[in-house]
């Protein structure tokens, strides 16, 4: 049995930040928690505020290569997509592995202990499968293991090149790398994935633009049989809604509902332009919505209806998506601050609710319902945030938690433990030189 012990100067236990928390870990889970006690002999001391591990519920690892390459000039999601397609056309499994392990290390350094990787880059440039049809997926699973974090690989079905007035467009160009040709072939390929103990396999429907309703049902059936989560891009842009209504006579959420996809394992990613009927459908199905505020504002998508969703009982989660930044504090407070701008009122979401989006709710949406809280029997993830940086210093006694959520950044994360294993110490990843690996790999990809 592997064991470890830590003493937290302050930690989040039972929803409150309390002083002097001793935690014992056995085989990757919390075995004992003591509150208000001095540091036990031999315990590793963690100065600052220690939180549960963060869940990044929506990631496209290869989009990290776009940072700084798409910020200048004007345009929209659709012009940004052209640059993204260029990167997708250049990747091979070995370069993707090197990029992803550095991206996942960057996430670990930001306190992310689990990532939901929305994975749709599957095949060779001409669309033919590799000898191992899951070579890209295997590279991502290995990259997460290298970085020391858990992963839910949301293997994505992508069949059509778009949705227009005349129906679905044929696959063309780089999209050939995304498609398996049919939902049945997709399901057979996904069945061959072999995750390790740090990984789960889930399913994703890329969007209503790329997957027809009959094929959605195949994803639903596979996920039901597997007990797996299902995610989908939903209503990210207004034109997506317009195209879906024009062709199918209903919104994207309505189309997914008619295909039987909406249930407690379903997460709609973005949901920026959901209507009231869509929110009602999601709430009735006990489904969730994943906001990615830094990407949504980077692309000019809009501001999603967060208070309406929460008011209807829909759980919100958070993702860094295109990795314009990798910072879960920024994603969390953006939900509140964006809604303040929209409503012209403050106090839209409580600090505790924002923290739940980052932690327990995000983990549950990815199938890890035993993570996201510091409690006996749960997965032993710890994220320590300094209270002495220029951003966090001076927090009033008893107000450390809101000070961290509303002012800290990823740079304030000092220590990260995942399943009882130290991954980050003193702000440094213990296995991967993330800055240098990112620099070298992105240069190789972008300079081709």
Q: 353, 309 in Cβ contact below 8 A? A: no
pLDDT tens sequence across 136-161? 999 999 999 999 999 999 999 999 99
pLDDT of residue 423 exceeding 80, the answer is yes
Q: Classify residue 194 as exposed, middle or buried by CB count within 10 Å of its CB (0-12, 13-18, 19+).
A: exposed
pLDDT of residue 252 exceeding 80, the answer is yes
Query: pLDDT: is 70 or 297 the higher one?
Result: 297
Under the banding of pLDDT at 50, 70 and 90, the label for residue 165 is confident
pLDDT tens sequence across 377-405? 999 999 999 999 999 999 999 999 999 99
How confident is the model at residue 195, as a pLDDT? 96
pLDDT of residue 73 exceeding 70, the answer is no
Under the banding of pLDDT at 50, 70 and 90, the label for residue 170 is very high
Q: Which domains does the chain have, with CATH numbers?
A: 3-51+382-418 (2.30.40.10), 54-365 (3.20.20.140)
What residues contact residue 118 under an 8 Å CB cut-off, 6+ apart? Answer: 58, 59, 60, 154, 156, 204, 231, 269
252: left (phi > 0), else alpha (psi -120 to 50), else beta? alpha
Mean pLDDT (the chain, rounded): 96
Tokens linked to 34: 């003591």
How confident is the model at residue 140, as a pLDDT? 98
Catalytic pick from 122, 123, 160, 270? 270
Catalytic pick from 155, 278, 298, 321? 321
pLDDT tens sequence across 264-298? 999 999 999 999 999 999 999 999 999 999 999 99
Q: 355, 316 in Cβ contact below 8 A? A: no
Q: Of 346, 340, 322, 329, whose CA–CA distance to 404 is shortest?
A: 329
Max Cα-Cα span within the chain: 71
Mean pLDDT of 57-77: 82
How confident is the model at residue 446, as a pLDDT? 87
Under the banding of pLDDT at 50, 70 and 90, the label for residue 69 is low
pLDDT of residue 372 exceeding 80, the answer is yes
- DSSP letter at 155 equals E
How confident is the model at residue 406, as a pLDDT? 97
Active site residue 327: no
pLDDT of residue 76 exceeding 70, the answer is no
Could you give the C-alpha distances from 141 to 95, 119, 445, in angstroms and in order? 14, 11, 20
Cα–Cα distance measured from residue 248 to residue 207, given in angstroms and rounded to the nearest whole number? 14
Cα–Cα distance measured from residue 424 to residue 431, given in angstroms and rounded to the nearest whole number? 9
How confident is the model at residue 280, as a pLDDT? 98
Cα–Cα distance measured from residue 119 to residue 412, given in angstroms and rounded to the nearest whole number? 29
How confident is the model at residue 179, as a pLDDT? 98
pLDDT of residue 77 exceeding 90, the answer is no
Handedness of CA 108, 112, 115, 120 (dihedral sign): negative
* Secondary structure class of 443 (helix, strand, coil): helix
Percentage of the chain exceeding pLDDT 90: 93
pLDDT tens sequence across 312-361? 999 999 999 999 999 999 999 999 999 999 999 998 999 999 999 999 99
pLDDT of residue 448 exceeding 90, the answer is no
What pTM was computed for the model? 0.97
How confident is the model at residue 70, as a pLDDT? 67
Phi, psi angle pair for 210, to nearest 5°: -110, -10
Query: pLDDT: is 74 or 90 the higher one?
Result: 90
Active site residue 301: no
pLDDT of residue 106 exceeding 90, the answer is yes
How confident is the model at residue 83, as a pLDDT? 84
């Amino acid at each position: 049995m592997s064991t470890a012990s830590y003493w937290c100067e302050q930690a989040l236990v039972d929803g409150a930040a309390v002083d002097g928390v001793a935690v014992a870990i056995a085989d990757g889970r919390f075995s004992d928690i003591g509150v208000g006690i001095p540091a036990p002999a031999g315990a590793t001391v963690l100065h600052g505020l220690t939180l549960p591990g963060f869940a990044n519920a929506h990631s496209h690892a290869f989009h990290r290569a776009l940072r700084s390459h798409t910020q200048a000039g004007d345009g929209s999601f659709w012009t940004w997509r052209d640059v993204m397609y260029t990167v997708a056309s250049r990747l091979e499994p070995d370069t993707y592995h090197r990029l992803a392990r550095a991206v996942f290390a960057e996430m670990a350094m930001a306190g992310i202990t689990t990532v939901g990787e929305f994975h749709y880059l599957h095949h060779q440039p001409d669309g033919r499968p590799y000898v191992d049809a899951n070579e890209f997926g295997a590279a991502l699973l290995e990259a997460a293991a290298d970085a020391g974090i858990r992963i839910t690989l949301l293997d994505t079905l992508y069949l059509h090149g778009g949705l227009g007035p005349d129906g679905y467009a044929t696959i063309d160009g780089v999209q050939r790398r995304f498609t398996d040709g049919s939902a049945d072939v997709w399901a057979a390929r996904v069945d061959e994935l072999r995750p390790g103990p740090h990984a789960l396999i889930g399913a994703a429907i890329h969007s209503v633009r790329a997957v027809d309703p009959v094929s959605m049902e195949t994803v639903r059936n596979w996920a039901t049989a597997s007990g797996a989560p299902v995610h989908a891009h939903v209503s990210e842009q207004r034109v997506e809604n317009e195209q879906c209504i024009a062709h199918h006579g209903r919104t994207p959420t309505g189309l997914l509902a008619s295909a039987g996809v909406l249930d407690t394992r379903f997460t709609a990613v973005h949901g920026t332009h959901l209507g009231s009927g869509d929110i009602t459908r999601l709430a009735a199905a006990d489904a969730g919505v994943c906001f990615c505020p830094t990407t949504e504002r980077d692309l000019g998508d809009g501001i999603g209806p967060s208070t309406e969703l929460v008011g209807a009982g829909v759980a919100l989660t958070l993702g860094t998506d295109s990795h314009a930044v990798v910072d879960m504090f920024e994603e969390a407070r953006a939900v509140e601050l964006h809604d303040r701008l929209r409503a012209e009122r403050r106090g839209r979401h409580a600090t505790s609710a924002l923290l739940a989006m980052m932690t327990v709710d995000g983990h549950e949406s990815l199938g890890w319902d035993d993570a996201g809280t510091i409690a006996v029997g749960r997965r032993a993830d710890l994220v320590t945030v300094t209270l002495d940086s220029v951003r966090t210093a001076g927090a009033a006694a008893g107000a450390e938690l809101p000070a961290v959520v509303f002012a800290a950044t990823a740079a304030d994360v000092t220590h990260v433990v995942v399943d009882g294993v130290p991954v980050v110490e003193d702000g440094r990843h213990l296995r991967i030189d993330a800055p240098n690996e990112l620099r070298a790999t992105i240069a190789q990809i972008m300079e081709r």
